Structure 1
Amino acid sequence: MFAVWGLIVLAGIFVVIRFTGLIDHMLPAGDPPNFTFAPETPVPQARNFFIACPPGRSPRTDRAMPSPSFDATAATLADVMIETAPAHGMQLMSGVPGGKPGRLYFLARTPVFHFPDWVEVEFILPEQGGDITFCLFAQSVYGLDDIQQNEKRTRAWLADIVGRMGPSG
């Protein structure tokens, strides 16, 4: 009987902390990683990240995919990214301390426990009439393994963006 009451009390505490927003203050996101996109860039030892980058710019890792390119302007691509991000649990946080120009920073939180993940997007502008593309780095703030949550979110988000904009070529 005491075990049942104990579980009810713990569940009540979790509900209060989770749904009042207290958990967001208990699990601060800190600053974004400001990742450098280059083949020689070392990737984190923890398996809590995912990268989307065009061939030739991606660091060497098995936790990556090629990023799509689009026949559009950087502003159009940024608008679609910002517009579709909330459907994937992300909030635009551009202007964060240490943020670099030409990048978008999103804060994502996991659905149940609200663990924070940073999603960083760097636009790669076309050279003389080429298509625009980007590099993306998504990393969990806490933990050593994200159980592929950053990969799942990234793939779903990019599929949504491609669905709205259409792939190039």
Structure 2
Amino acid sequence: MIWGLLVLAGIFAVVRFSGLLGMMLTAGEPPQFVFDPNSELPDTPNYFLSCPDGLAPRGGRQMTSPQFDASVAKLGRAFIATAPDHGMKLTDGSVGAHSLQFLARSRVFQFPDWVELKLMSVPDQAGATFCLFAKSVYGRDDFQQNEKRTRAWLRDVRRNLTSP
């Protein structure tokens, strides 16, 4: 029995750390979420949404996006700089286009999640904010992983913006 478990653990380690797991769990196409109060949210609880008040459809898994005392370009660069610390890779978009798209992968099993980010100026004020939509590719429920990643990422973005 112990030998069987050791063999299975060895197989998992080879598959996981060789990059095969990431190739086996393809990400497919990103969801292309439209940030609008009339947009439909997914029926499954495998997403997280963050937008300023009035820009997001009403639903369960969301938070109000904070405002940052920074330019849109500086905020975008902070998101890009801190993304790798959270298992994310920029796949499309640019700060200049105010649109960024990331592919996130869970640490152990390498499950893919798409993260779409729209950067914007705060109307009638100096500063910037964003809309974010994060959705798991596999499964009906993400067990709040997209929310946890988003909140941790925002802490790092704040730190990045305030550090000299």
Question: Is this a same-fold pair by TM over 0.5?
Answer: yes
Query: 1:9: Cα distance to partner?
Result: 1.6
Partner of 2:28 in structure 1? 30
Rounded to whole Å, the distance in 2 between the matches of 1:32 and 1:145 is 17
Of 66, 70, 88, the match for 1:90: 88
In structure 1, what residue type is equivalent to 2:114? W
Unmatched 5+ residue regions in structure 1? 96-100
Aligned residue for 2:133? 137
> What SS does the corresponding residue of 1:92 show, helix, strand or coil?
strand
Q: Distance in 2 between matches of 1:34 and 1:133?
A: 19
Match of 1:61 in 2: 59
Q: CA RMSD in A?
A: 1.5
Q: Deviations over 1:100-119 (max 9, x none)?
A: x5310111111110100111
Q: What is the distance in 2 between the residues matched to 1:46 and 1:127?
A: 33
* SS of residue in 2 equivalent to 1:30: coil
Deviation at 1:129, TM superposition (A): 4.6
Q: Distance in 2 between matches of 1:112 and 1:23?
A: 10
Q: Distance in 1 between matches of 2:149 and 2:69?
A: 24
Q: Deviations over 1:30-84 (max 9, x none)?
A: 1211101111111101101001100000111120001111232221111111111
Q: How does 1:144-159 map to 2 (within 5 A)?
A: 144-159=140-155
SS, match of residue 134 in structure 2: strand
More strand by share: 2
Could you list the runs of 5+ residues in structure 2 that have no partner in the other structure? none
Name which of 58, 70, 73 aligns with 1:72.
70
* 1:109-151 CA distance string (max 9 Å, x none): 1111010011110112344554221100011110000000000
Which of residues 29, 38, 41 in structure 2 aligns to 1:40? 38
Runs of 4+ residues deviating >6 angstroms: none
Tell me the matched-pair count. Answer: 159
